């Protein structure tokens, strides 16, 4: 993205992204894209940042399902969810996402990374104004459209401004020009105002951690912001391990007298060339060949590497064993449970941060659909479920609940409601299909058949 200060100056808004925060977001993105500043010829990235982000995304959306109570909007909503799944790990890496509904004959949602938009103003920790730049290149000219969203709670108005700039240098915004200079932007209005809006027509999701990079910033931080130095340690230590293994390779120091020569060079066994180190026999009593086979110090190296990985897990809020080898360290059952609880708390906070962001996006979709299709205002509700898959072993929980049904402590309806994540009415419809599994007697709490499975 073009420097935020240029965009802020061009639209006449304050730039609330500090230089420190901009630098941090660039660093987080480079780490996610495996282009860390410490990479060298031998130091290769282990891709830990992207692994951490993808694992947290996987845990967050493991049992995720979401729908809106309007069938027409729900179709558009379901088309948006795969995009959310694809981009959430990137958003977790850079600190957050912007969900921006728009209308092109049908309601859609654009998902923008935190480092690709400019927040302008906040009210009660809710973002009320943003600027979203979009750049296209035609020939040697770089065109940038800046879409500015501004919400006025007092007037219940949401306005959208579109400004266009052209430049010979893609690193600079350049001078303002007409939107019509870009064919794809010809039909875009320079300004549009929506009335009767009760909240912004966009929503923001941020990683729910305090910003310890810039405490005055309203932006989110990366899920691995507290582990950057440790990630560097892991990359560099892995190179030491590879060097230890490489430098300890078995080799044979042999006199040239042992080999046939061709063009003044020894003919070495094909595919085993690096095993042989040759030298000229000077007749000084040196052995004609020696075997080089030093002891490999891999145990201590791998133990240290595993400890670094555990520190990364701890700083990223992940359970031990996500990256590290759990067999390397003895832990009690309570330590393992506490480790899983840490991961659960981390994921739960992210899930709860997603709920209002999804609700705001659904409101924007509903408003734009009603506005452009001349419909009356309608209430739209989002139902999102995440499950407890982080802590819960589904197979063990299934067996445990089956035992409760057998003991008469849980009804069949309650079991079906849990298993299929449905309400009581839907469970009742499923019950005939479940009779073959449970038998014909419906146990109830405090009475009924104590052994409905007949075992």
| pLDDT exceeds 90 at position 439 | no
Nearest C-alpha neighbor of 405 from the set 359, 439, 381, 382: 439
Residue written as tokens 């069938």?
Answer: 71
pLDDT at 12 over 50: yes
Residue range 321-330: mean pLDDT, rounded = 76
Which comes out higher in pLDDT, residue 81 or 277?
81
Least confident range of 231-240, 246-255, 301-310, 370-379:
246-255
Ranges 3-7, 120-124, 193-197, 264-268: which has the least confidence: 264-268
Whether the predicted pLDDT of 255 surpasses 80:
no
For residue 162, the model assigns a pLDDT of: 97
Q: What is the pLDDT of residue 430?
A: 80
Mean pLDDT confidence for 288-300 = 71
- Each domain of the chain, given as residue ranges in start order, spans 4-36+47-225+353-372, 251-292, 393-433
pLDDT of residue 454: 40
Rounded mean pLDDT of 184-198?
95
> Percent of the chain, pLDDT > 90?
58
Rounded CA Rg of the chain: 31
Residue-wise pLDDT for 379-388, tens only, equals 889 999 987 6
Is residue 222 within 8 Å of 94, Cβ to Cβ?
A: yes
Q: What average pLDDT does range 100-125 have in this prediction?
A: 93
pLDDT of residue 324: 92
197 confidence band (pLDDT: 50, 70, 90)? very high
Given a cut of 50, whether residue 455 has pLDDT beyond it is no
Q: Say what the pLDDT of residue 63 is.
A: 86
Position 450 confidence tier, pLDDT thresholds 50, 70, 90:
very low
Average pLDDT of the segment spanning 426-449 = 57
Residues 6+ apart with CB under 8 A from 439: 449, 452, 453, 454
Q: What is the DSSP string of 224-289?
A: TGGGHHHHHHHHHHHHHHHHHHHHT--EEEEEGGGS-EETTEE-PPTT-GGGEEEE---SSS--SE
Task: Count Cβ neighbours within 10 Å for each residue of 411-442 and write b for 16 or more, e otherwise.
Answer: bbbbbbbebeeeeeeebeeeeeebeeebeeee
* pLDDT value, residue 75: 93
Contacts of 155 (CB under 8 A, 6+ apart): none
Q: Which residue has the higher pLDDT, 287 or 195?
A: 195
Mean pLDDT, the chain, whole residue set: 86
pLDDT band at 140 (very low <50, low <70, confident <90, very high): very high
> Both tokens of residue 350?
């992210």
pLDDT band at 192 (very low <50, low <70, confident <90, very high): very high
């Amino acid at each position: 993205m073009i420097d935020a200060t240029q965009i802020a100056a061009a639209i006449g808004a304050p730039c609330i992204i500090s230089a420190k925060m901009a630098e941090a977001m660039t660093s987080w993105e480079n780490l996610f894209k495996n282009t860390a500043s410490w990479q060298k010829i031998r130091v290769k990235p282990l891709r830990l940042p992207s692994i951490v982000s993808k694992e947290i995304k996987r845990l967050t959306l493991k049992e995720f399902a979401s729908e809106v109570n309007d069938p027409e909007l729900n179709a558009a909503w379901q088309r948006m969810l795969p995009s959310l799944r694809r981009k959430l790990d990137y958003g977790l890496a850079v600190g957050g996402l912007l969900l921006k509904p728009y209308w092109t004959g049908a309601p859609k949602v654009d998902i923008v990374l935190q480092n690709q938009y400019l927040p302008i103003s906040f009210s009660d920790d809710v973002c009320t104004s943003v600027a979203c730049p979009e750049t296209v290149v035609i020939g040697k000219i770089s065109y940038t459209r800046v879409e500015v969203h501004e919400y006025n709670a007092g007037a219940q108005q949401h306005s959208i401004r579109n400004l266009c700039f052209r430049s010979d240098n893609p690193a600079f915004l350049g001078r303002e020009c007409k939107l019509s200079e870009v064919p794809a932007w010809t039909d875009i209005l320079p300004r549009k105002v929506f009335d009767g809006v009760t909240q912004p027509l966009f929503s923001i999701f941020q990683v729910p951690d305090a910003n310890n990079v810039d405490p005055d910033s309203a932006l989110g931080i990366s899920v691995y912001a507290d582990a950057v130095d440790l990630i560097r340690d892991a990359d560099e230590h892995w190179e030491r391990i590879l060097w230890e293994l490489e430098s300890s390779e078995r080799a044979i120091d042999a006199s040239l007298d042992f080999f046939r020569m061709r063009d003044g060079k020894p003919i070495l066994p094909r595919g085993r060339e690096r095993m042989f180190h040759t030298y000229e026999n000077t007749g000084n009593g040196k052995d004609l060949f020696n075997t080089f086979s030093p002891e490999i110090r891999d145990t201590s190296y791998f133990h240290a590497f595993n400890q670094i990985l555990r520190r990364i897990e701890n700083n990223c809020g992940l359970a031990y064993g996500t990256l590290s080898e759990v067999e390397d360290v003895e832990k009690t059952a309570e330590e393992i449970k506490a480790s899983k609880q840490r991961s659960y708390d981390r994921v739960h906070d992210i899930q709860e941060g997603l709920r209002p962001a999804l609700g705001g996006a659904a409101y924007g979709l509903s408003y734009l659909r009603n506005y452009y299709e001349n419909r009356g205002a309608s209430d739209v509700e989002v139902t999102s479920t995440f499950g407890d898959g982080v802590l819960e072993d589904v197979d063990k929980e299934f067996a445990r609940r089956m035992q409760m049904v057998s003991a008469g402590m849980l009804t069949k309806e309650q079991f079906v409601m849990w298993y299929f994540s449905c309400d009581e009415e839907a469970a009742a419809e499923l019950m005939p299909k479940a009779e073959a599994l449970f038998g014909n007697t419906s146990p109830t709490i405090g009475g009924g058949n104590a052994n409905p499975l007949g075992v």
